[in-house]
Amino acid sequence: MLITAKSGRLIELPNNEEDDLINARIAADSDTYELSEAEFLQLKPFKNSFNRDKQVPVFLSQEIVERFQATGLDWQIRIDNALREWMKEHPV
Protein backbone atom coordinates (compact mmCIF):
# COMPACT_ATOMS: atom_id res chain seq x y z
CA MET A 1 0.00 0.00 0.00
CA LEU A 2 1.33 3.43 -0.93
CA ILE A 3 0.71 6.53 1.17
CA THR A 4 1.78 10.11 0.57
CA ALA A 5 3.73 11.92 3.28
CA LYS A 6 3.20 15.61 4.04
CA SER A 7 6.33 16.30 1.99
CA GLY A 8 4.72 14.65 -1.02
CA ARG A 9 7.03 11.65 -0.85
CA LEU A 10 5.43 8.27 -1.57
CA ILE A 11 5.94 5.66 1.15
CA GLU A 12 5.26 1.97 0.59
CA LEU A 13 3.89 0.29 3.69
CA PRO A 14 4.54 -3.41 4.29
CA ASN A 15 1.74 -5.89 3.68
CA ASN A 16 0.57 -8.19 6.52
CA GLU A 17 3.05 -10.94 5.63
CA GLU A 18 5.98 -8.49 5.51
CA ASP A 19 4.83 -6.86 8.75
CA ASP A 20 4.72 -10.26 10.50
CA LEU A 21 8.26 -10.99 9.28
CA ILE A 22 9.49 -7.59 10.51
CA ASN A 23 7.91 -8.17 13.93
CA ALA A 24 9.38 -11.69 14.14
CA ARG A 25 12.86 -10.32 13.44
CA ILE A 26 12.40 -7.57 16.04
CA ALA A 27 11.39 -10.22 18.60
CA ALA A 28 14.41 -12.38 17.69
CA ASP A 29 16.90 -9.50 18.08
CA SER A 30 18.00 -9.16 21.71
CA ASP A 31 19.45 -5.68 21.03
CA THR A 32 16.16 -4.08 20.03
CA TYR A 33 12.47 -4.06 20.76
CA GLU A 34 9.35 -2.35 19.53
CA LEU A 35 8.54 0.79 21.51
CA SER A 36 5.43 0.84 23.65
CA GLU A 37 2.83 3.54 23.07
CA ALA A 38 4.08 5.42 26.17
CA GLU A 39 7.73 5.22 25.02
CA PHE A 40 6.78 6.35 21.53
CA LEU A 41 4.95 9.39 22.91
CA GLN A 42 8.09 10.42 24.84
CA LEU A 43 10.18 10.70 21.67
CA LYS A 44 11.26 14.17 20.63
CA PRO A 45 11.93 15.31 17.05
CA PHE A 46 15.51 14.97 15.86
CA LYS A 47 17.21 18.33 15.53
CA ASN A 48 19.68 18.67 12.70
CA SER A 49 23.01 19.64 14.24
CA PHE A 50 23.85 21.78 11.20
CA ASN A 51 23.37 25.41 12.17
CA ARG A 52 22.61 27.66 9.23
CA ASP A 53 24.17 30.89 10.43
CA LYS A 54 24.20 32.59 7.08
CA GLN A 55 23.15 31.64 3.60
CA VAL A 56 25.38 33.14 0.90
CA PRO A 57 25.63 32.66 -2.84
CA VAL A 58 28.85 30.94 -3.80
CA PHE A 59 30.14 29.95 -7.21
CA LEU A 60 31.52 26.40 -7.44
CA SER A 61 32.83 24.51 -10.42
CA GLN A 62 30.45 22.03 -12.01
CA GLU A 63 32.89 19.23 -11.16
CA ILE A 64 32.77 20.08 -7.42
CA VAL A 65 28.96 20.32 -7.35
CA GLU A 66 28.47 17.06 -9.28
CA ARG A 67 30.97 15.20 -7.11
CA PHE A 68 29.29 16.29 -3.87
CA GLN A 69 25.75 15.77 -5.24
CA ALA A 70 26.72 12.21 -6.14
CA THR A 71 27.26 11.53 -2.43
CA GLY A 72 23.52 11.88 -1.76
CA LEU A 73 21.29 14.10 0.30
CA ASP A 74 22.89 16.76 2.52
CA TRP A 75 25.71 17.26 0.02
CA GLN A 76 25.81 20.96 0.92
CA ILE A 77 26.60 20.03 4.52
CA ARG A 78 29.51 17.90 3.29
CA ILE A 79 30.85 20.91 1.36
CA ASP A 80 30.61 22.97 4.57
CA ASN A 81 32.43 20.20 6.48
CA ALA A 82 35.15 20.04 3.82
CA LEU A 83 35.65 23.80 4.10
CA ARG A 84 35.86 23.51 7.91
CA GLU A 85 38.57 20.86 7.54
CA TRP A 86 40.46 23.11 5.12
CA MET A 87 40.26 25.96 7.65
CA LYS A 88 41.77 23.70 10.36
CA GLU A 89 44.68 22.88 8.05
CA HIS A 90 45.14 26.51 6.93
CA PRO A 91 44.82 28.74 9.99
CA VAL A 92 44.74 32.47 9.37
Co-location of 64 and 25 in the same domain: no
Model pTM above 0.75 = no
pLDDT digits (tens, 9 = 90+) for 57-73: 999 999 999 999 999 88
Number of domains in the chain: 2
Residue 11 and residue 34 share a domain: yes
Same domain for 56 and 35? no
Query: How remote is the C-alpha of 45 from its chain's centroid?
Result: 13
CA-CA distance, 21 to 69, in Å (whole number)?
A: 35
Average pLDDT of the segment spanning 7-30: 91
Q: Check whether residue 5 and residue 33 sit in a common domain.
A: yes
**Does 86 lie in the same domain as 54?**
yes
Note whether 3 and 13 are within 8 A (CB). Answer: yes
- In terms of domains, do 36 and 51 share one? no
Considering the domain architecture, whether residues 38 and 71 belong to the same structural domain is answered as no
Residue 9's domain spans which residues? Answer: 1-43
Both 55 and 31 in one domain: the answer is no
pLDDT at 23 over 70: yes
